[in-house]
Structure 1
């Protein structure tokens, strides 16, 4: 029984570390998000729920790293010039990817955009602030401690498969969606998780995946498309032309469009071929009780 929980050197296995982290982070994030609902109505827009969830994941990350005597920077979390550069580049990349998907749907005769009535800059800025919180929370949760311990325990490929699958299942897919649309949305979300994992692997920093995640979600909201099934109002409003939902994404958003599968496929191929900035930096030495961060 001891071998189930500990390796040959007596250290707790990475799988149990990841599971314990996920449970504790989920509980603390839930508590903090509940506390956010107690804030005054005038304050809540400036402190949206995702930032409280991110705070919970961050605190649990610090606790687990303390037990391992590892710094927060070992997870690819830091505030420096490189992080700012990768965050900006990632956000631009996310906007470009969504723009290509929207362009494909438009070229196929699926949609056109009209200027939204009463569009305000403040609403667009508020959406960007909200999406920053979402990106920080989800990347810290899915590609921080859990992802990196999964790599050490299973190797890169299997870690990508497992975390991308969890990332996919963590998103809502309504049973009211048409079956082809739901299938495309699930494939796209799995591919997005894989792409974001590659963004970390190529830089060993969370700034790039946070930026891509932010740019993707924010531009979807700005154009008025749904973001993983949630409605947003931006500068424009999409007008659909009656084409199949698996082509346009429908009310779920462009993430349920077949063009998103194409765009993400191209991005994954490009990231796979790119050696990344991590390849130009000295490899961080693993702890004696852990396998190298990239194996397999």
Structure 2
């Protein structure tokens, strides 16, 4: 049984570490999200439910790291001037990326934007706060302990494939969407997971992927597009021109637009070529392409 649970150096295999992290984390997430539902209604806007999910992931992460005697900073989770800069750059980068997608759809005649009646600053600020929570929750879950232990087990490329697939499948896709639109939405979400993974790999910190995630989602909501199929109201409202849904994304949002595929592909190419401020290869977590020895 030693070979099943331990590697050649006597350490617990990374696959078991991931499982031991995910099981209590899912339990804690369900428990804390339920606790959010019993909060007084006036309090809920100030404590959106993604922050409760983020708290659950952090608790699961701290337990897993405690058993390994590793600090939280080893996962690229810390505060300071450097992380703040990465967060800000990520927010700006996410806005630019989704802005390019919107520009492509507009130039192709898929829609135009009209100013919303009586737009509210408060709603926009609340949207930013909500999307910060979403970014923290999803990046801590998908590109924190889970992602980084899979890297140690099967190597970076396979870890990217696995986590990007899980990231894609974790998002709901309306079965009423046209098949081509659903395919584009799933491909976009997979590519987004890959891009966010690269954001971590190039900085070895979660601040950049959190910022990109937040900036992308928030600017989508500001423009009035759906965010992964969820309706949003911002400063503008898109008026669609009856073109194919896969061109504009339709009710699902720009993430179902073919222009998202193009823009994210270019972003992935750019991040792949960019070395980033990450540590040198010799200082990175050990990667092994042998599934038999580490998983």
Q: TM-score range by the shorter chain?
A: over 0.9
Contact 1:51 1:133 in 2 (8 A): yes
Deviations 1:109-148 (A, max 9, x none): 0010001122100000000000000000000000000100
Contact 2:153 2:288 in 1 (8 A): no
Partner of 1:13: 13
Query: Do residues 208 (structure 1) and 208 (structure 2) align?
Result: yes
Partner of 1:3: 3
Cα distance 1:128–1:3, how it changes in 2: closer, same or farther (>3 A)? same
Partner of 2:293: none
Partner of 1:124: 124
Partners of 2:177 and 2:229 in 1: CA distance: 10
Contact 2:152 2:288 in 1 (8 A): yes
Paired residues for 1:81-92 under 5 Å: 81-92=81-92
Contact 1:152 1:295 in 2 (8 A): no
Deviations 1:67-89 (A, max 9, x none): 00100000000000000000000
Partners of 1:283 and 1:251 in 2: CA distance: 47
Q: Once superposed, which parts of structure 1, at least 4 consecutive aligned residues long, lie more than 2 Å away? A: 281-286, 293-296
Query: Do residues 224 (structure 1) and 216 (structure 2) align?
Result: no
The alignment of Structure 1 onto Structure 2 pairs a total of residues equal to 290
Contact 1:249 1:256 in 2 (8 A): yes
User: Mind listing any 5+ residue stretches in structure 2 that lack a counterpart?
Assistant: 291-295
Paired residues for 1:160-199 under 5 Å: 160-199=160-199
Partner of 2:112: 112
Partner of 2:278: 278
Deviations 1:163-192 (A, max 9, x none): 000000000011111000000000000000
Please report the TM-score for the alignment, with normalisation by the length of structure 1: 0.95
Partner of 1:254: 254
RMSD: 1.5
Partners of 1:143 and 1:150 in 2: CA distance: 10
Aligned-residue offset at 1:20: 2.1
Partners of 1:170 and 1:20 in 2: CA distance: 19
Partner of 1:289: none
Partners of 2:161 and 2:198 in 1: CA distance: 12
Q: Secondary structure in 2 aligned to 1:195? A: helix
